[in-house]
Homo-oligomer: A and B are copies of this chain.
Amino acid sequence: MIKTMNFLSTSDHTSVISITLFITLLCACIVIGHLLEENRWMNESITALIIGVGSGVVILLLSGGKSSHLMVFSEDLFFIYLLPPIIFNAGFQVKKKQFFRNFMTIMLFGAIGTVISFTTISLGAIVFFQKMDVGLAIGDYLAIGAIFAATDSVCTLQVLNQDETPLLYSLVFGEGVVNDATSVVLFNAVQNFDLSHINTSVAFQLVGNFFYLFITSTVLGVVAGLLSAYIIKKLYFGRHSTDREVAIMMLMAYLSYMLAELFYLSGILTVFFAGIVMSHYTWHNVTENSRVTTKHTFATLSFVAEIFIFLYVGMDALDIEKWRVVSDSLKTSVSVSATLLGLVLVGRAAFVFPLSFLSNLTKKTPHDKIGFKQQVTIWWAGLMRGAVSMALAYNQFTRAGHTQLRSNAILITSTITVVLFSTVVFGLLTKPLVRFLMPSSKQLNRTISSEPVTPKSFLAPLLGESQDSEAELFIGNGLMSRGEGRDDKNFDCPSRLRMLFTTPTRTVHYYWRKFDDAFMRPVFGGRGFVPYVPASPIERSTHNLEQEEEAKH
């Protein structure tokens, strides 16, 4: 008698099954990840990967060796739904003060460093893979450079403690985000060109395209963020509806991404800078409830999206179709994977140590230089490869998740191997390595943070309060240096690193503050927009900042 199935399901009941199973697995990842949290060797990414591989095995057996995944990889899914929340959240949760203090260093490592890494890996791929007879075009080699220049520093960040080594953390985090954006921009720039015959003009156009994408995308993100701040400030939603504010913030963030895509720019960069601007201005214009809600909602969406990607990658690792194509040339496949892993190690070393050296040359005091152990930590932090690499590889080497071409299948399986190996093996080694390299960091930094080294009043000028003066600023900085100078004996302590990255942009930061107070805040709001009762102003503002900073993480 029952003629048709439930009308929701007639459309595609198998997709309902897939979605249900996938959500169940996501829940399992979160719960198991939580249970394994005590074990600091593990993390959500590794858990999701392992659960993904496990489910892949089960599905492979159930389907009689036909398929190992629940859904076909979709670029749209990744680039339109999963990546934007991750990158936006990265911008939104970034410790802006640290980020902008270290802006030059972060950009040096994140942008220039990624380009060096990209070049090294591309050249290495050309040299080695042509010998191996993999059979790739010049565009593929450049794409490989971009694919494996995209780091995944989530694992390291879970080991580096933000309170113990705030500046190293900020550096690794900032570099990771700029690196994501840079590698996607590089990938786009490479794809947009006909690379069949390279000459100087093409190379220049490539560089020009890169800078064009980088700058316009950034500007668009900043404009979108400022617009959201302006709208919310002008209408002052806060007095009316938290839901409207949250809706506007979410929609504007997503709109910035879609606008970038509309104009063929890099949505990643746009949404990252929109996130920064929105956390600097918009977030301060809304109600307390909206702040809590947006902060946690963006973090949750990012968290779920990351687990989703790792789960998918884990499931796809066993995709029988690709392995079957590869199985004839197993030796080639293994050597390609090994070569790529080697290139990743070399490509990162090729910029971390030289750029650190260059950066050290500009410093006068030995305190300001980056110690060798810090350099090693920065190098190691960027060795993991993750979701972005996977997505770019799928984009370059498959059509809708499928491939029959031998060379493409080899590169897909090699990418999976590199991602799995680097995430699991490098990931598991990170904690012991960091503990080995910086054994005293825990005790040392605890001492620093428990001591009131910098009197609070000296911080005030840096907080962007209107009463800051140039004199105060430099007194503040001077005393901060002296305060941190107490740790002279500890040669490798992070406070030296901190001074290094703080110094070059100190004046830039100072003028930005001036400009921000004079022109930006009156228009776009931001911290202090909500009328503020002056009672022991400096003390109060410092407290506010601290709460702010705590709230941010």
Task: Give the interface of A toward B (CB within 8 A).
Answer: 1-9, 11-12, 16-17, 19-20, 23-24, 26-27, 30-31, 33-35, 37, 75-76, 79-80, 187-188, 191-194, 202, 205, 231, 235, 237, 240-244, 246-248, 250-252, 254-255, 258-259, 261-262, 264-265, 267, 289-290, 292-293, 295-297, 299-300, 303-304, 395
- Distance, CA A244 to CA B33, complexed state (A): 10
Complex Cα distance A3/B264, Å?
13
Instruction: Judge whether B247 and A193 touch: CB under 8 Å.
Output: no
Whether A251 touches B26, Cβ cut-off 8 Å, given contacts A20-B262, A242-B296, A292-B292, is yes
In order of increasing CB-CB distance, the 6 nearest A-B pairs are: A293-B296, A6-B264, A20-B258, A246-B300, A292-B292, A243-B300
> CA separation between A8 and B80, bound complex, in Å?
8
A228's nearest neighbour on chain B, judged by CB, is B27
Across-interface contacts of A11 in B (CB, < 8 A): 75-76
Q: Determine the residue in chain B with the shortest Cβ distance to A213.
A: B6
A229 nearest CB across to chain B (Å): 14
Instruction: Tell whether, in the assembled complex, residue A8 and residue B194 are in contact, meaning their CB atoms are under 8 Å apart.
Output: no
Determine the chain B residues whose CB is within 8 A of the CB of A244 once the complex forms: 30, 33-34, 303
Determine the chain B residues whose CB is within 8 A of the CB of A264 once the complex forms. 5-6, 9
Does the CB pair A255–B76 fall under 8 Å?
A: no
Q: Are B296 and A31 in contact (CB under 8 A)?
A: no
Complex-state Cα separation, A403 to B94, whole angstroms: 51
**From B33, B192, B265, contact of A4 by CB (8 A):** B192
* 28 pairs from A and B in contact (CB 8 Å cutoff): A1-B194, A1-B202, A3-B193, A6-B265, A7-B187, A7-B188, A9-B261, A9-B262, A11-B75, A16-B258, A16-B261, A19-B258, A20-B259, A20-B262, A23-B254, A30-B244, A30-B247, A31-B231, A34-B241, A35-B235, A37-B240, A242-B299, A250-B300, A289-B296, A290-B296, A293-B296, A293-B297, A297-B297
Known contacts A235-B31, A237-B34, A289-B292; A194 and B251 CB within 8 A of each other: no
Indicate if the CB atoms of A255 and B24 lie closer than 8 Å. Answer: yes
Please name all residues of chain B whose beta carbon is closer than 8 Å to the beta carbon of A17 when the two chains form the complex.
262
With a CB–CB cut-off of 8 A, which chain B residues contact A304?
Answer: 247, 250-251
Chain B contacts of A7 at CB under 8 A?
75, 187-188, 191, 395
A297–B299 alpha-carbon span in the complex (Å): 12
Interfacial chain B residues near A194, Cβ < 8 Å: 1, 3
The residue on B at minimum CB distance from A22 is B258
Q: How far is the CA of A2 from the CA of B237 in the complex (A)?
A: 44
Q: Are B23 and A243 in contact (CB under 8 A)?
A: no
Cβ contact within 8 Å between B23 and A251: yes
CA distance A299 to B250 in the complex (A): 13
Q: Contacts A11-B75, A235-B31, A303-B244: A4 and B191 contacting too (C-beta < 8 A)?
A: yes
Task: Choose among B192, B231, B247, B254 the residue that contacts A6 (Cβ–Cβ < 8 A).
Answer: B192
A395 vs B550: C-alpha distance when bound (angstroms): 50
